[in-house]
Amino acid sequence: MSTPNTSPTTVETDRTRRDGWAGANGSRPAVLELHDVTKTYGSDPPVAALRGVSLTVAQGELVAIVGPSGSGKTTLLHIIGTLDQPSSGTVRIDGVDVAGLDDRQLAALRARSIGFVFQQFFLAEHQTVLDNVADGLLYGGAPVGERRELAAGALTAVGLADRQHARPTHMSGGQRQRIAIARALVGMPAIVLADEPTGNLDSVTGAQILALLKQLNEQGATIIVITHDRGIADQLPRQVQMRDGQIVSDTASNQQPAVVANSVGGNATEARR
Ligand code: ADP
Ligand code: MG
């Protein structure tokens, strides 16, 4: 398991990040592997939110998971983010099968390997921008000076180098989302999970955030964007389309769709073998 470079002399965070993210350039290991994942809620009656989802995302990809309301996106996000467990199937994050981990180990894996970006930003309003981002490194136990140094680098990467000492309160939605993205990226996680990252932004600002995500991906970050918006998904290099708890298409050249859009209800597991 690679750990972030936390050397206090590491100020060239862009280069550090590239090295950390793209070190295995060429071999492209899988950072996410879902195998035949199902999720059923409740029992009276049971709701099958995911019905046999298999998905592999390699290091360095930028993937949109797109589907209408109720198709299972949030459920899938929770399972990829290790915030919830599947009813059946396998989830591997950065090579680790999460089924074998206890709560403490899961929390450690999550802190180390997954960066979250949410529609609602979730910033600490009373803290400086710099400390909001530095908090993304709290789990690693690095001293505050080191966390702030890395946070400053991440803020530069999202175009907010000059706002480090401001507080989020009076900043625009686009700036707030940039802070959240810097916080997600600062620990060089294996996967950045962005849940409707432009959902609270006007279209111009949303386009800028999407452009930023693409730029960070070009620098090596692996990013999964979850969206209901076809227009957003279409701008990303790979689109995984969900409907009724299944993947109905995947533009990745190495993966055939599990089922075709018009034949939902077929045996997805069988179709994938
Ligand atoms: P999306 O994010 O694409 O709108 P969700 O994952 O939220 O889809 O929901 C998928 C299906 O699972 C829907 O039918 C939804 O009603 C159901 N569902 C989601 N969460 C729960 C829950 N906690 N309990 C019961 N049913 C749920
Ligand atoms: Mg949802």
Cα 71 to ligand 1 centroid, rounded to whole Å: 8
Map 153-182 to HEC letters: HHHHHCCCHHHCCCCHHHCCHHHHHHHHHH
Residue minimizing CA distance to atom 12 of ligand 1: 49
Residue nearest to atom 13 of ligand 1 (CA): 70
The CA 230 to ligand 2 mean position distance, Å, reads 15
The CATH number given to 13-272 is 3.40.50.300
pLDDT average, residue stretch 19-46: 80
pTM as predicted: 0.84
Task: Report the C-alpha gap between 7 and 16 in whole angstroms.
Answer: 10
Counting every residue, how long is the chain?
Answer: 273
Pick from 37, 38, 41, 227 the residue to mutate for probing ligand 1's pocket: most ligand atoms within 8 Å of its CB. 41
DSSP 114: E
For residue 72, how far is its CA from the centre of ligand 1 (angstroms)? 6
The four Cα atoms 208, 212, 218, 221 give a dihedral, to 10 degrees, of -140
What's the 180 CA to ligand 2 centre distance in angstroms?
Answer: 19
Specify whether the CB–CB gap between 254 and 30 falls below 8 A.
no
Residue 272, pLDDT above cutoff 70: no
Domain ranges of the chain: 13-272
Going by alpha carbons, the residue nearest to atom 18 of ligand 1 is 49
Helix (H, G, I), strand (E, B), or coil: what is residue 210? helix
**97-147: pLDDT as tens digits:** 999 899 999 999 999 999 999 999 999 999 999 999 999 998 888 999 999
Question: pLDDT of 164-195, one tens digit each?
Answer: 999 999 899 999 999 999 999 999 999 999 99
What is the average per-residue pLDDT within 20-48? 83
Give me the pLDDT at residue 26, please.
53
pLDDT confidence bin for 28, thresholds 50/70/90:
confident
